[in-house]
């Protein structure tokens, strides 16, 4: 009897070049038990096998970064590998050691408690992409947790990673979302009511997952030699354009981190994104959005809003404070890098430059959202500030307001336009029409008059202004209620809404006729529903 033909494994074409584990010091202990890990950047650890991996979705754009075809991503072996059941030749699974400040307080060692890096793939363009499984089992950094993840949090991370990429926001990427076939117990709001939820694993990609906290833990422990090894490695692999590591290069590197972080904050504010848990261990050294937990989009424009139940009292990480918190987090990174530089003033100057980078970026961003050719402080400061005072006065959907603002009539048609016609493109943004009092409408109309006069100064054709504004003001964002609807359906075995959302979110700035339901403001049933309004860090 002849043997069945051996089926080739298309994933063996992935080429691994594991610089992180090759060049940096490893945890000398091999056992996977919770403990303090000292003098090391990582611990080697294997993913925990699961019983019945089933692919829910994959991102074809993220797959292309690894030179993987759609056929490969739909194969049975793909689900086995990216659920952690099967290691490919060249993989070197490990969890990173880092610390961090959580809600402003030093938390000590944190580390990859439910994330396991499979290794670094080099694609055909020579780019390095670290593959990381989130929810693949315990590591030495799991503390009292189980290292697993549930569908609820995993689906939200998968969709949001790719949505942010298509919005033009720097981000880690998501390759796949896989159900494990095993239940995981979670207390969603930490209120003593745990329940079993479907387990899931996301495979995410980044040039590296190095965070501010990777440096903080080493500096905090006085492990300066390892701190320098990690800094030198990071510069040589992620920032080679800065030159060979030296005190001067460390400073240029920190300045670049400040600049890219400022740019990231501007992007978040542009699209109305609220991260929800901006601890220093959730800040990427590459200026990427990382760790999608209790995030949300600013639907009702309220700068004090946070999606994180843990932050509901202090609102440290609310929408309007994100740029300030990023500055604070950068200061903690500066403290960690100080032993390599030995001078405080250059680091302080880079922090001051962060503020200047952010201010300029924010002004340019607001000018773009309003369809102005450029931000002119003498003309535009009060115009912008008055708008930001008006928006919170009534419950106003931020995304729909700015999208509709592009359609407000201006120029020659202005003389023939009634106040009702001028405000009509904005009406879909208001949640409660009864809040639109005569006093509010008079104030809004006065602002619109000043705004259209400012537009006439630029003298842009309406069609060009519409195009400019629609290129920076998205129509489609991953509203929490949409993600929750997809979660509900997957729990019932229906994956179709995940695929539909992924396709719509690929083109967030386009009109997409027939998909308008995905651009509607939050429905009333979602106002206070768990998962649609406030979320916990387990989300």
User: What percent of the chain has pLDDT above 90?
Assistant: 90
pLDDT score, position 1: 40
Question: How far is it, in rounded angstroms, from Cα 240 to Cα 59?
Answer: 29
User: pLDDT-derived band of residue 4, with 50, 70 and 90 as boundaries?
Assistant: very low
**Three-state SS at 480:** helix
> pLDDT tens digit string along 484-498?
999 999 999 999 999
32 token code pair: 């996977």
Pairing of strands 105-109, 94-96: unpaired
Extended strands (E) in 65-172: 94-96, 99-102, 105-109, 115-122, 128-134
Q: Among residues 281, 291, 311, 397, which one is catalytic?
A: 281
422 token code pair: 């001028």
Torsions phi, psi for 471 (to 5 deg):
-80, -15
Are 321 and 274 in contact by the 8 Å Cβ rule? The answer is no
The 10 Å CB-count burial string (b at 16+, else e) for 390-401 is bbeebbbbbbbb
Helix or strand run (H / E) with residue 159: helix 151-167
DSSP string, 42-69: EEE-PPPP-S--EEEEE-HHHHHHTT--
The number of C-alpha atoms within 13 Å of 431 and in the hemisphere containing its C-beta is 19
Q: Using alpha carbons, select from 280, 41, 290 the residue that is nearest to residue 141.
A: 41
> pLDDT tens digit string along 178-220?
999 999 998 776 677 788 999 999 999 999 999 999 999 999 9
Average pLDDT over residues 422-445: 95
> pLDDT tens digit string along 98-117?
999 999 999 999 999 999 99
The verdict on whether 281 is a catalytic residue reads: yes
> pLDDT tens digit string along 506-528?
999 999 999 999 999 999 999 88
Q: Residue 502: how many CB atoms within 10 A of its CB?
A: 23
Q: Using alpha carbons, select from 90, 106, 61, 87 the residue that is nearest to residue 332.
A: 106
User: What percent of the chain has pLDDT above 70?
Assistant: 96
Q: What is the reported pTM?
A: 0.96
Q: Residue 164: how many CB atoms within 10 A of its CB?
A: 27
Sequence-distant (≥ 6) Cβ neighbours of residue 401 within 8 angstroms: 301, 391, 426, 429
Question: How far is it, in rounded angstroms, from Cα 96 to Cα 115?
Answer: 9
pLDDT score, position 409: 86
State the burial class of residue 3 (Cβ atoms within 10 Å of its Cβ: 0-12, 13-18, 19+). Answer: exposed
Question: How far is it, in rounded angstroms, from Cα 474 to Cα 271?
Answer: 7
389 token code pair: 């005072």
pLDDT score, position 2: 47
């Amino acid at each position: 009897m002849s043997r069945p033909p051996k089926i080739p494994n298309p994933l063996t074409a992935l080429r691994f070049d594991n610089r992180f584990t090759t060049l940096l010091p490893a945890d000398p202990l091999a056992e996977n038990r919770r403990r303090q890990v000292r003098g090391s950047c990582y611990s080697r650890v294997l993913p925990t096998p699961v019983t019945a991996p089933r692919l829910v979705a994959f991102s074809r754009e993220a797959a292309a970064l690894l030179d993987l075809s759609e056929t490969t991503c739909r194969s049975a072996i793909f689900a086995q590998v990216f659920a952690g059941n099967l290691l490919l030749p060249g993989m070197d699974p490990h969890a990173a050691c880092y610390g961090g400040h959580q809600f402003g307080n030093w938390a000590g060692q944190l580390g990859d408690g439910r994330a396991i890096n499979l290794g670094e793939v080099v694609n055909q363009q020579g780019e390095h992409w670290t593959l990381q499984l989130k929810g693949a089992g315990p590591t030495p950094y799991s503390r009292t947790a189980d290292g697993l993840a549930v569908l609820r949090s995993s689906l939200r991370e998968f969709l949001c990673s790719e949505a942010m990429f298509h919005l033009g926001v720097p981000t880690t990427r998501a390759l796949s979302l896989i159900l494990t076939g095993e239940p995981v117990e979670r207390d969603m709001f930490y209120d003593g009511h745990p329940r079993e939820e479907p387990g899931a694993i996301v495979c995410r990609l980044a040039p590296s997952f190095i965070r501010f906290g990777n440096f903080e833990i080493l500096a905090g422990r006085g492990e300066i030699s390892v701190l320098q090894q990690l800094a030198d490695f990071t510069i040589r692999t992620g920032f080679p354009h800065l030159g060979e590591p030296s005190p001067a290069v460390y400073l240029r590197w920190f300045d670049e981190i400040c600049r890219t972080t400022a740019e990231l904050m501007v992007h978040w504010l542009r699209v109305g994104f609220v991260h929800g848990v901006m601890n220093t261990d959730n800040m990427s050294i590459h200026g990427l959005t990382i760790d999608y937990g209790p995030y949300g989009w600013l639907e009702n424009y309220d700068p004090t809003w946070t999606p994180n139940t843990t932050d509901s009292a202090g609102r440290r990480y609310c929408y309007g404070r994100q740029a300030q918190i990023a500055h604070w987090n950068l200061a903690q990174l500066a403290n960690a890098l100080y032993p390599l530089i030995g001078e405080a003033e250059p680091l302080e100057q880079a922090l001051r430059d962060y503020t200047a980078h952010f201010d300029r970026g924010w002004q340019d961003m607001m000018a773009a959202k309003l369809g102005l050719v450029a931000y002119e402080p003498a003309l535009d400061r009060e115009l912008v500030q008055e708008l930001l005072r008006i928006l919170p006065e009534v419950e106003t959907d931020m995304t729909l307001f700015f999208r509709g603002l592009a359609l407000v009539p201006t120029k020659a048609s202005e003389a023939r336009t009634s106040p009702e016609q001028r405000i009509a493109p904005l009406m879909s943004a208001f949640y409660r029409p009864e809040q639109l009092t005569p006093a509010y409408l008079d104030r809004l109309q006065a602002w619109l008059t000043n705004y259209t006069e400012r537009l006439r100064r630029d003298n842009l054709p309406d069609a060009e202004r519409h195009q400019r504004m629609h290129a920076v003001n998205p129509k489609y964002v991953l509203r929490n209620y949409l993600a929750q609807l997809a979660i509900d359906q997957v729990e019932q075995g229906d994956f179709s809404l995940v695929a539909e959302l992924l396709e719509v979110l690929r083109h967030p700035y386009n009109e997409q006729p027939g998909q308008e339901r995905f651009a509607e403001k939050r429905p009333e049933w979602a106002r206070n529903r768990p998962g649609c309004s406030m979320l916990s860090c387990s989300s």
